[in-house]
Amino acid sequence: MRCGKMAAASPPAGAPGAWGGARRRCRRLLYWVPVLFISSILCWSYYAYVTQLCLLTMTNIGEKVVCLVAYHIFFMLFVWSYWKTIFTLPMNPSKEFHLSYSDKESLEREPRGESQQEVLRRAAKDLPIYTRTMSGAIRYCDRCQLVKPDRCHHCSVCDKCILKMDHHCPWVNNCVGFSNYKFFLLFLAYSLLYCIFIAATDLQYFIKFWTNGLPDTQAKFHIMFLFFAAAMFSVSLSSLFGYHCWLVSKNKSTLEVFRAPIFRHRTDKNGFSLGFSKNLRQVFGDEKKYWLLPVFSSLGDGCSFPTCLVNQDPEQASTPGGLNSTSKNENHLFPAKPLRDSQSHLLTDTQSWSEISAKPEKGKVGMSNPALTMENET
């Protein structure tokens, strides 16, 4: 009887639900095709370079040893960073950004419009959120049922909200965001170095191919195609890597380039930029010994970020002593709920940051609202 119930509960083979599940599985498999393509190119390049070029074509022992050692260093770093980019799960917003059961019920009861926004404002009042939609509303995800943290976006491929989402990359079958952006940058850097190294060391043998200076074996065709592939990938990777280096220097994501973040006071395309040094440290961390290794060292928690606001947020408490952004040096003001000090050393840099006690708002018991000022960027 129990088995009969279980069989009845499962959809028949021709049911729409069964077809939908099969489509999803096929789509997941297709998403791995670009990764398999890159992996196959990498395996062939290893065989062509190590076996056909170094072991069978190079005659100088010293050149052979140097090329093999250097090649395997680049190869290891390339594969390591590529693996970490693919298999590091994107970080999703923490549970404090999800609506409570009562808030979900209130949101469903209220008609769309200002009444729903009032529910979201109440849910987000204690969250470190400073960006808004184009209409000035709280950023909310209907599918995940959560208030979106700053720089968080919903990925339609992953069907999840991704912290500091940059883009969904088909070549790694993963979302590039806060958890793996450093790995993605290193993947681009080491793949570029890998291709440049192959092209540079293969060049003289590529020239010999056209001048009939190579023996008539299958190695000559591997050498020719190896140079073409390395040169072609070097050109495409150099432009992509240069673009992401520019993004890091400006503390922007790809999505923020196309749509600038909208703060409560106004749109500010450089709202998260803290200057080149601090922008670099946000991605790579304070420990320089980890910068070139595919190990996680980025600063922060991915949910809140230091920012420089040109004008004081009118919804936050005023700063003491009548400080405002119209002073002689036009100091940028930091939001009232900054990234936690325990999670980012950017806020403890005494040369650039200073903490100021704020007056508690009237009617709020025992609450102070700190504000941080930041020096002008050079």
Query: CA–CA separation, 45 vs 52, rounded Å?
Result: 10
Q: Is residue 309 within 8 Å of 188, Cβ to Cβ?
A: no
What distances in angstroms separate CA 34 from CA 37, 62, 79, 172, one per listed residue? Answer: 5, 37, 15, 8
Q: Active site includes 195?
A: no
Scan for tokens 């749509």, then name that residue. Answer: 259
Scan for tokens 């404090």, then name that residue. Answer: 96
Catalytic residue among 169, 175, 195, 308: 169
354: helix, strand or coil = strand
- The residues with which 309 forms a beta bridge, in sequence order, are 333
180: helix, strand or coil = coil
Residue 294 contacts by C-beta under 8 Å, 6 or more apart in sequence? 77, 80, 81, 83, 84, 182, 183, 186, 187
Q: Is residue 205 within 8 Å of 214, Cβ to Cβ?
A: yes
**Could you give the angle at the alpha carbon of 200 between the alpha carbons of 194 and 201, nearest 5°?**
90
Which residues are catalytically annotated? 169
